[in-house]
Chains A and B, each alone.
Chain A
């Protein structure tokens, strides 16, 4: 095998240049970082749009979402952020766009139970849905 041309310390020049450059490091968490607009983070549920078809529950690969009927055309949604894999399939499956995905990613919790979030149904006193 032919021995390649060697050059010990080839990187010296390159790394010394870095001394005079700003580091590539971002100042997170002291400065908030903006995720791309379509980044898949925490889910949001708009209870007034839900029709209770359960397509999201059916298609969820991680059993993270539950829809409960709490009254006439009123649905409550439990999402376990500790189970959700943030794939967004439920958003795609929903025929009424009742679910949306937000770029929020800072979801860490000390307490496991705090990862279970509930989106309550709108109060029945509010005017019954138009249309």
Chain B
């Protein structure tokens, strides 16, 4: 019973949805304020979500009905499941096992794949181009992200997020070593969430709304929710991996600290999307492979050296 509560209510689905909707509001409000305007009211993401649930679902005739319907549900499921393995406060996630880090990374790749599938099976031109761009972009940011997360895991000598938390709790200040990888993680997360400057797959002025062009109503609501949750889960992952400090605090303060970390990361992402122009797909891929990936490997090198000569 408790497990079910944990999974569905707190800190599972319901809590996660609420935080995600608030995170979307936070992001949009901050974006608006950075642009010197007022921005949406606090309930805006919720209103958008409910409104979309209440709207007509239009499925294009040419679309593959089953894949078209399933893609958003897959996306939503994957991100919610991923959340269960991330420790929020303290050192333990709801579930954990010795390889959960890899599973989480894998689950976080699924939304991008569903964007591709959803776009591809819409059989619309803009959706198809958006879908192909999603996948192209995936290859650019995913490897740097994996490598960046590999670095702290190597240091902690484990593939489990919870065990990593234990390690960094035992060795405070070690997380400072991984700051370079944290930067790489932030950039990769921008790509994962398809935000400016990496919002190429849904570049409005080029391909309308990319993969989501044909989605409407309920299915669009699921997709939007999945992206919101992905943002929170991604930020939580970065917070857990790269900012593991203050883990021994009492639950309530620890929880607040966790939220502060997550929203700080979301704020940085919002700042990024305010001050940059969208790159082209070729520029994006070039940037990721020329700069981001080598920097991530540099971090690995540093950690290897430290591990061999200093930490043991």
- Interface, chain A (partner B; CB < 8 A): 8-12, 15-16, 18-19, 21, 23-25
Say which one of B165-173, B252-260, B269-277 lies at the interface with A: B269-277
B274 contacts across to A, CB distance below 8 A = 11, 15
Among B37, B38, B275, B276, residue most surrounded by chain A Cβ atoms (within 10 Å): B275
Q: CA separation between A51 and B38, bound complex, in Å?
A: 51
Q: Are A23 and B37 neighbours in the complex by a CB distance under 8 Å?
A: yes
User: Is B275's CB under 8 angstroms from A12's CB?
Assistant: yes
Interface status of B34 (Cβ within 8 A of chain A): yes
Contacts of B276 in A (CB 8 A): 8-9
Q: 10 other contacts beyond A12-B271, A15-B34, A24-B36, with CB at 8 A cut-off?
A: A9-B275, A9-B276, A10-B275, A16-B34, A16-B271, A18-B33, A18-B35, A23-B37, A24-B37, A25-B37
Interface 0/1 of B263-299, CB less than 8 Å to A: 0000000010011100000000000000000000000
> Whole-angstrom distance from the CB of B33 to the nearest CB of chain A?
6
The secondary-structure label for the interface of chain A is loop
Q: Which of A8, A9, A10, A23 contacts B36 (CB 8 A)?
A: A23
| A-B CB contact pairs (8 Å), 10 listed | A9-B276, A12-B275, A15-B275, A18-B34, A23-B32, A23-B33, A23-B36, A23-B37, A23-B38, A23-B39
Return chain B residues, CB-CB under 8 Å to A25.
Answer: 37-38
A12 to B276, CA, bound (A): 9
Contacts of A21 in B (CB 8 A): 36
Assess whether A19 is in contact with B37, with CB atoms less than 8 Å apart: no
In the complex, chain A residues whose CB is within 8 Å of the CB of B38: 23, 25
CB distance from A92 to the nearest CB of B (A): 39
CA distance A9 to B34 in the complex (A): 13
Count of CB-CB pairs between chains A and B under 8 Å: 32
Assess the A19–B275 pair: CB atoms within 8 A: no
Q: How far is the CA of A54 from the CA of B44 in the complex (A)?
A: 53
Cα distance A8–B271 in the bound complex, in angstroms: 13
- Contact between A18 and B275, CB atoms less than 8 A apart: no
CA distance A25 to B35 in the complex (A): 11
Chain A residues near B35: list those with CB within 8 A: 15, 18
Chain B nearest CB, measured from A1 CB (Å): 17
What are the residues of chain A within 8 A of B36 when measuring CB–CB?
A: 18, 21, 23-24
Nearest-CB distance from B40 to chain A (Å)? 12
Q: How far is the CB of B54 from chain A (nearest CB, A)?
A: 22
**Chain B residues whose CB sits within 8 angstroms of the CB of A23 once the complex forms:** 32-33, 36-39
- Output the least CB separation between A37 and chain B (Å): 28
CB closest chain-A residue, reference B36: A18
Task: Give min CB distance, A45 to chain B, whole Å.
Answer: 39
B1-50 at interface with A (beta carbon < 8 Å): 32-39
Looking across the interface, which residue of chain A has its beta carbon closest to that of B32? A23
Q: How far is the CB of B220 from chain A (nearest CB, A)?
A: 28
A13 to B274, CA, bound (A): 11
Alpha-carbon gap, A19 to B274, bound state (A)? 12
- CB-CB nearest in chain B for A8: B276
The minimal Cβ–Cβ distance linking A4 to chain B, given in whole angstroms, is 15
A19 — which chain B residues lie within 8 A by C-beta?
33-34
Least Cβ distance of B29 to chain A in Å? 11
Name the B residues within 8 Å of A11 (CB-CB): 274-275
Q: How far is the CB of A11 from chain B (nearest CB, A)?
A: 4
Q: Give me the 4 closest cross-chain CB pairs, A-B, nearest first.
A: A11-B275, A15-B34, A18-B36, A25-B38
CA–CA, A100 and B275, complex, Å? 48
CA distance A24 to B33 in the complex (A): 10
Nearest A residue to B34 via CB reads A15
| B85 smallest CB distance to A (angstroms) | 33
Q: From A10, which residue of chain B is reached at the shortest CB distance?
A: B275
User: Nearest CB to that of A14 among chain B residues?
Assistant: B275
Complex: chain B residue closest to A20, CB-CB: B33
> Complex formed: what's the CA distance from A83 to B39 in Å?
35
